[in-house]
Amino acid sequence: MISLRIALALMQAPAPAAAAPASPDYPFAVGEKLSYSAKLGMLTLGSATLEVASLDTVRGVESFRLRFRLKGKNAFYSLDDVLESWVGTSDMISRRFVQDFVENDKPKHRLYEIFPDSGYFRQHGRDTTLATPAEPLDDAGFFYFVRVTPLAIGRKYSYDRYFRKEKNPVTIEVLKREKLELPDGTKVQCLVLHPVIDTKGLFSKRSDTRIWLTDDARRLPVQVRTKFPFGTITLRLKDMVLPGTTTSAMSR
């Protein structure tokens, strides 16, 4: 039998610390920067970048700061559009979203604070609160959501995750597989996606956006094509800086 002294020692000993939860295995990390050429039809328009800019904290939650920027100009139109999203590193949930648009020299700024635990979001400068789903995502966050979501050709997926609850569902249709060339010259199979969000933004039904996503572990968005009022813009990956590699992969 166990002695009284040993039994008391076991009762007083501190409980072993619980193992820390494993961090999600994402195909992206802080420091990833994807650069694109932007063409309007066959004409050069400008450039775009999509990057995991930094780690930040929003109301105590560690978050990726994701940033998408599209900048271009022609004889009839100019734009410098920036989307920034703060998405939790452990749950892929948006807690802050910023839109900074300058189109034809007319600036537009919107800041949204999103409170998923309370089920609402608030736009800066307005007193009202509006409903948000339990696991909200914004426009920039969806670029990364599709990179961590299993997808099969011929399937159409529906998600009630857009941060403006009344605009759900978001749909993602996997149309086909196509081979495209990466900046380093290698050719890879890509899934061709058709995402739709019921808004006036990049993924609106009217924009008829297509995303070409590498069908491998990296899930890199190689090409994005979307319709604007003045024509169709195609973004094509020309440079990629990937954490863990010694140099960036430049277009040839």
| Residuewise pLDDT in 10s, the chain (252 residues) | 434 343 334 334 433 333 333 346 899 999 999 999 999 888 888 999 999 999 999 999 999 999 999 998 877 778 899 999 999 999 999 999 999 988 888 999 999 999 999 999 999 999 899 999 999 999 999 999 999 999 999 999 999 999 999 999 999 999 999 999 999 999 999 999 999 998 877 787 888 899 999 999 999 999 999 987 778 899 999 999 999 764 455 444
| pLDDT at residue 136 in the model | 98
- Structure confidence at residue 5 (pLDDT): 43
210 burial level (CB within 10 Å; 0-12, 13-18, 19+): middle
Confidence (pLDDT) at 199:
84
CA distance 64 to 86: 6
Nearest to 194 by CA among 231, 225, 236, 150: 225
Pair of tokens at residue 40 = 């309007």
Tokens of 91: 């749950």
- Angle at alpha carbon of residue 178, lines to 33 and 49, rounded to 5°: 15
pLDDT at 43: 84
pLDDT of residue 244: 75
Give the residue extent of every domain in the chain: 26-244
List phi, psi (to 5°) of 35: -115, 140
pTM of the model: 0.84
Q: Distance from CA of residue 61 to its chain's centroid?
A: 17
Neighbours of 195 (CB within 10 A): 22
Residue type, 210: R
pLDDT of residue 204: 79
Which residues does residue 111 pair with via DSSP β-bridges, in sequence order? 98
Q: What is the pLDDT of residue 40?
A: 86
Enumerate the β-bridge partners of residue 184.
none
